[in-house]
Amino acid sequence: MSLSLCIDLATYSLSIYGEDHQDKQLLHKTIARSKVFETFANIPAGHHPHTL
């Protein structure tokens, strides 16, 4: 499965948007900038993007 990932930066938060090779949305989530490292550090390799 391939995933294209876009990150939209704002002042206090960021939005993460992911889609597969058929342009189907797999992920759309907004998180606080202070939680970025915590969020990504807790994702195991090969983790399904729906549960991010």
The domain segmentation of the chain, as residue ranges, is 4-51
Determine which helix (DSSP H) or strand (DSSP E) holds 15, and give its type and residue range: strand 13-19
pLDDT digits (tens, 9 = 90+) for 36-46: 888 878 776 66
pLDDT digits (tens, 9 = 90+) for 12-50: 999 988 888 888 888 888 999 998 888 878 776 666 656
pTM of the model: 0.61
Q: What per-residue confidence (pLDDT) applies to 29?
A: 87
Q: In what order do the strands lie in the sheet with 4-9?
A: 4-9, 13-19, 25-32
Residue 18: which of 8, 27, 9 has the closest Cα?
Answer: 27
